[in-house]
Structure 1
């Protein structure tokens, strides 16, 4: 991404990611462990989340969404690149130095069952942020915790219950209350509704929307469900195998997707109108997602792309605005999809043996 593009995106950025790279070493050996490879989880991601907006991050399982989220909140240390919070570089800060920033950015985790300690009472779980950051005495925390429980739609009288006594949706509300305790500016929601029933999903999404309006929160909302992301997001970034391949305003991306991968995701997304669902042409991608241990050369999507040509094997496409697109619509593709183009009738020109490399 160019410096000009980054400046336009992050004029009022709360959190900014610059050329983020995260690799996980693969080691073998019993006594002496040696590195035999690396998982390329995040590779050169640059994006900004503006103050007060919701940026949706979407992609298949294993594309690096959750890893990027943990890098943003400094739960993972970047291999290279920068994380800026309110203009301050927090990338290389020590645990003690980053602690003040943790008050300002919190996470809501995907699994409402696994993210809560079953042996502790709900009041203690929600009150942990107060205890960790030295906010008031123990007796002073109880009314604050009960206020948070009421805020997220839980009965304050259930303060002394254990997580097992709550439903999945109620447990996720506990996670939301814990994240709100220190009045953060940024909340990273890592697939917060994927483990819930559809009716409960709507309740949690509406709750997050109400809280954003009331407290001016900024969300990085992660999901693999484009219909959910469209409902909650101002802008959407689409990730594939560790890289952002398309970034645009929510309605712009749904109305005029430019990357072949985004088109494939949209063709598989659920829609409420049965007539639209029946008329939709499903784009079926060939092959499996390549291994992040040995990602393809050039464009990482080229082994599965119906429009792939030789240049896609050789050159990494830049994430930039393409001809005819607004400056806010960025696509990383040598041959972006044109309006009305039918990808089911397009054939790649790369020999099968080269596509598999």
Structure 2
């Protein structure tokens, strides 16, 4: 457990598994999806921690664990030194005043049958903070804060564009004056021009209100722009964690290097000179993850040690103390992996589930 007063949220050895069951009357658990499988993270007060990785790596599940929407299978998550995994329903309700979430889909996260004023005002109603004219005044102030017209208080979500809907989600998250906001891919469903507007809004709100963000995204350029530190996840585990500029300038995990090589480069001449690392094979199934390092079936630097032994997430030789890498054979400065292929023989990534008689 961290004793650093600057650490607002601490994730310690967190696992989240989803059971797979078969049977009609007597359902029997036959396997588990290892969505999050032993993650350690710390979120410091006032910073933006970016989390990146392929679809299915566990980013959104981890976000829901941090906000208390998913109970953890094992491990602990502490907020200001208190273990939220042991909170009662009453404690959890109070905790959610401090930790809020902005969801990915600005269409699915808003009830189309309710007016915007009631959607943004829900937190006030749930926590019994304001009602009547006072609630309407606070909601309209929030709408103005996020760049919406307060006069549109009685409109339905369908009357707003995608970017405006996401601003409604931001206003709802800000209602209770939280300290931490978990942004689960808040701009991935928006046009590029609208993405920039929402990102700038979030940055302005952070400066004005002193917010702490956990920012999840697929777009590496967006994560680099907004994040102080970045955690790279692969198949439920943290592959690398470092300051944003350090990670982008000198990635140490082969998976991080491959992700960064896929980033779009605006300059066509520079893009033509850049070397793309093409990973072989598919992402293994989270139902039956590989032994040792989970990236070894696709890694161009993998050796037998990677198959047998799980690497620790630690600072490797020559790296700063806050640059952590889970790799036995990290990428060396100047090393190119673009022409390398996976050295471990590929195996099927499809899990074989036992048959259960009904």
- Answer whether TM exceeds 0.5 for this pair: yes
Give the structure 2 partner of residue 243 of structure 1.
237
Measure the CA separation in 2 of the matches of 1:219 and 1:128. Answer: 22
Sort the Cα spacing of 1:318 and 1:144 in 2 relative to 1 into closer, same or farther, 3 A. Answer: same
Q: Deviations over 1:193-235 (max 9, x none)?
A: 0000000000000000000000000000001111110000000
The answer as to 2:142 corresponding to 1:148 is yes
- Note the C-alpha offset of 1:349: 4.0
SS of the counterpart of 1:35?
A: strand
Q: Deviations over 1:94-129 (max 9, x none)?
A: 222211110000000000000000000000000000
Verify the 8 A CA contact 2:284 2:349 in the aligned structure 1.
Answer: no
Alignment of 1:79-118 (within 5 A): 79-118=73-112
- What is the TM-score when the length of structure 1 is the normalising length? 0.96
SS of the counterpart of 2:107?
A: coil
Alignment of 1:41-52 (within 5 A): 41-52=35-46
Please, which of 25, 30, 36 is the counterpart of residue 24 of structure 2? 30
Give the structure 2 partner of residue 338 of structure 1.
332
SS of the counterpart of 1:61?
A: coil
The answer as to 2:215 corresponding to 1:221 is yes
Measure the CA separation in 1 of the matches of 2:297 and 2:340. Answer: 14
- Note the C-alpha offset of 1:278: 1.4
Please, which of 294, 297, 303 is the counterpart of residue 303 of structure 1? 297
Measure the CA separation in 2 of the matches of 1:354 and 1:207. Answer: 45
The answer as to 2:68 corresponding to 1:71 is no
Alignment of 1:1-357 (within 5 A): 11-352=5-346
Measure the CA separation in 1 of the matches of 2:120 and 2:267. Answer: 40
Verify the 8 A CA contact 2:6 2:44 in the aligned structure 1.
Answer: yes
Verify the 8 A CA contact 1:303 1:355 in the aligned structure 2.
Answer: no
Q: Deviations over 1:57-96 (max 9, x none)?
A: 0000000000000000000000000010011111121222
- Note the C-alpha offset of 1:11: 5.0
SS of the counterpart of 1:344?
A: coil
SS of the counterpart of 2:329?
A: coil
Measure the CA separation in 1 of the matches of 2:297 and 2:237. Answer: 15
Identify unmatched segments of 5+ residues in structure 2.
352-358
- Note the C-alpha offset of 1:347: 4.6
Verify the 8 A CA contact 1:310 1:349 in the aligned structure 2.
Answer: no
- Note the C-alpha offset of 1:270: 1.3
Q: Deviations over 1:152-186 (max 9, x none)?
A: 00000000000000000000000000000000000
Measure the CA separation in 1 of the matches of 2:94 and 2:49. Answer: 24
